[in-house]
Structure 1
Amino acid sequence: MATCNGERFLEQQIASICRQTILPKRLLVADDCSSDQTLELLHHWQKKSDVPLELLTTRESGRLGSCRNFERLLYASKASHVMLSDQDDVWDVDKAARLLQQMDALEQRLGADQPLLVHADQRLIDAEAHQIHPSFHRCQGLHPERDGLFEIGLQNVVTGCALLLNRSAVERSLPFPAEVVLHDWWLALVAAQAGGLFYWPEACSSYRQHQANVVGARGWRRQLIKRLRDVDALHFRRSAQRLISPGLLQLRACLNRFGPPESATRLERLWSASVWVRLSTALRLGLRKHGWWRTAGFYAALLCSRPSRHESS
């Protein structure tokens, strides 16, 4: 579990983990320089919980951010199977049991030495735990069954707080490359490149939406409208570049690490100065997002601008 100023909802989440029908052997928590009562709550749970709670020491060099804090947790874990937890959600009592059952079937079929990831849907709740929508994926207009490498590379469908990893997936994901956008997106790519991504189409937890969310799950139409509103007409090309570059750079990092080399070579053509080479390459690779609005936006951005070659641009 990664925490940062999570005092408002933290106890509800830890309580839901400690009520699981299959209890974790350890709850490993990395706090990212909280300034509220988060650490006090964690120390309190260390004393009263039946599940051993191990707290990684707070860094003095400043905040890591969610992505790198989860990377830190994955380095510290030695478990055969790992579930990630946000600080403000609520798990169904049988979440661990259901995901482990799916993982067991997947490991028997593909082998435990393969990097495997099982993920599930979630219901959306508000700050007071009232249901907003029964399905995160339907609310977002996402299709988790589209789980090929290039599909995932362009459109993440995996939420960190709804996944289960095996040991091979953890080890192959580390270290995170500099181009990683989101920790769960990177983990999904690691599993997808090996054909080890599996979706369980039932909600196993409640994904809380509130103003302090790092990412959140606003409806995709609202997100699209906001992005279009934020585009500076005088710098449209740069805005288009920022829209498509991070995901493509992360996908390129995955292909450079795992291959196949021919796919990495084909992907490089997306950085061509020729707009026709970029568009024809994207079409040959079958690049598409979920829904024609998202896909049209991607191709419009690719038409207007060449992706950046560096994650900081």
Structure 2
Amino acid sequence: MLCVPAASCGRNDSVHPDFQDKPAQVAILLCTYQGERFLSEQIDSFLSQTYGSWKVWASDDGSTDGTLGILDAYREKLGHERLAVVHGPGRGFVANFLSLACRDDVQADFYAYADQDDIWLNDKLERAIKWLTSLPRAVPALYCSRTLFVDEENREIGMSALFSKPPAFSNALVQSIGGGNTMVFNAAARALLCQAGADVPAVSHDWWTYMVVAGCGGEVLYDAVPSLRYRQHGDNLVGMNTGVGARFERWRLLWDGRFRRWNEANLIALRRLQERLTPENRKIMDGFSHARTLPRLPGLVALWHSGVHRQSWVDSLGLFVAFFFKKM
């Protein structure tokens, strides 16, 4: 069962017996590359968390600026038991995050993706862990949330979209609703990522995590309350997704065929976990995949019956229009 969007995590706040013996441990998965401008502010926000049972695993992807020096300084301050630094694979941010998530020596109850240039709100982990510890360990679970957008000087400039439809695999196939920088997931979800492998040809680590947890019968909570300050600057790989400009960009990606290539890559990746998908979700995936092979009108009918959808009716309409023109 997937959880519907919620304004807070207090709805399921009783601690499951699986987590009553000791504080749950969180592995903060921090990926860095040329991050000296904002990295210290991000690590300081870890130190300000109201939930303190965590360890940072920083994977650097070959920085030549002061990033490694900053990490070394914090490691000296915190100790190796609170901050470990490893070398990334050097193949981009997706490979870096997935390689870190799948490392055998990173062991915890929960895992939190972290970008190098954000600022976590001080209750980010507490809110996520409060919900995650209400569930059994064996159930894959993923927390994600909205974000506050800030500029380079940390001045608020907006907020990410508020999604109203429940998280679902039929949505995850064509849309990621939570940024990776907001995501916290449990060890059962992480085991699925490891089973698929760090080399999986997924488009992005956050979209992939949403697809995997939703598809394999896990629980997903989309929290309407922001959990971090998402810094917007010239070096961002992914930025604001709201407004007319963002919608135009999504339509442009549909029309230039990129979204079709992304769908193909994600479907190939999901085949690695085909036996772990629920029967219902395997049927949705197969229906979506089959629809993409059909002529226009039969394909539209098959797409409709597959149930795939985006969060807004405008974007869902764009999906069907792009499908008609073989752009997805």
TM over 0.5: yes
Secondary structure at 2:185 match in 1: strand
| Distance in 2, Cα, partners of 1:281 & 1:58 | 41
1:191 equivalent to 2:213? Answer yes
Residue among 86, 90, 98 paired with 1:56: 86
Whether the aligned pair in 1 keeps the contact of 2:284 and 2:308 (CA below 8 Å) is: no
Note if 1:282 corresponds to 2:282: no
- Listed as ranges, the matches of 1:197-208 within 5 Å are 197-208=220-231
Partner of 1:137: 161
**Which has the higher relative contact order, 1 or 2, with Cα contacts under 8 A spaced 6 or more apart?**
2
Deviations 1:130-188 (A, max 9, x none): 0111x3123xxx44x43110112111101111111100100111214643111011111
Task: List per-residue Cα deviations over 1:233-277 (Å, max 9, x = no partner).
Answer: xxx6xx2x3333413541464366233343343233223241122
After superposition, the CA RMSD in angstroms is 2.3
Residue aligning to 1:96: 125
The 2-side partners of 1:180 and 1:229 are apart by 21
Residues of 2 paired with 1:221 and 1:173: CA distance? 34
Cα distance in 1, alignment partners of residues 247 and 241 from structure 2: 10
Distance 1:218 1:127 in 2: 17
Instruction: Tell me the equivalent position of 2:170.
Output: 150
Deviations 1:179-205 (A, max 9, x none): 311101111111112141112221121
Unaligned runs of 5+ in 1: 308-313
- Distance of 1:65 and 1:124 partners within structure 2: 24
In the alignment, which residue of structure 2 is the partner of 1:243?
Answer: 259
Find 1:66's aligned residue among 85, 93, 114. 93
Unaligned runs of 5+ in 2: 1-29
Question: 1: CA distance between counterparts of 2:65 and 2:32?
Answer: 11
- Aligned letter for 1:118? Y
Aligned length: 288
TM-score by length of 1: 0.84
Equivalent position to 1:299, from 302, 308, 320: 320
Distance in 2 between the 1:242 and 1:160 partners?
21
User: What amino acid is the match of 1:254?
Assistant: L
Partner of 2:11: none
Give the equivalent residue in structure 2 for 1:117: 142
- Whole-Å Cα distance in 1 between the matches of residues 240 and 260 of structure 2? 20
How many angstroms apart in 2 are the aligned matches of 1:230 and 1:161?
Answer: 22
Rate the CA distance shift 1:244–1:224 in 2: closer, same or farther, 3 A: farther
How has the CA–CA distance of structure 1 residues 296 and 176 changed in structure 2, closer, same or farther, with 3 Å as cutoff?
Answer: farther
- The answer as to whether partners of 1:28 and 1:53 remain within 8 angstroms in 2 is yes
Decide whether aligned partners of structure 1 residues 196 and 148 sit closer, same or farther in structure 2, where only a CA change above 3 A counts: same
Cα distance in structure 1, aligned partners of 2:50 and 2:310: 37
1:49-79 deviation digits (Å, cap 9, x = unpaired): 36721000355xxx22111101111122211
Runs (4+) of structure 1 moved beyond 3 Å? 176-179, 226-231, 261-265
Between the aligned partners of 1:223 and 1:148, the Cα distance in structure 2 is 23
Q: What is the letter of the counterpart of residue 213 of structure 2? A: A
Check the 8 A contact 1:71/1:176 in 2, yes or no: yes
Q: Which amino acid aligns with 1:246?
A: W
Deviation at 1:300, TM superposition (A): 1.8
Select the residue among 20, 40, 53 that pairs with 2:69.
40
Task: Please list the CA deviations of residues 271-297 of structure 1 after superposition, one character each: whole Å capped at 9, or x if unmatched.
Answer: 324112211111112222233332222
Partner residue in 1 for 2:183: 163
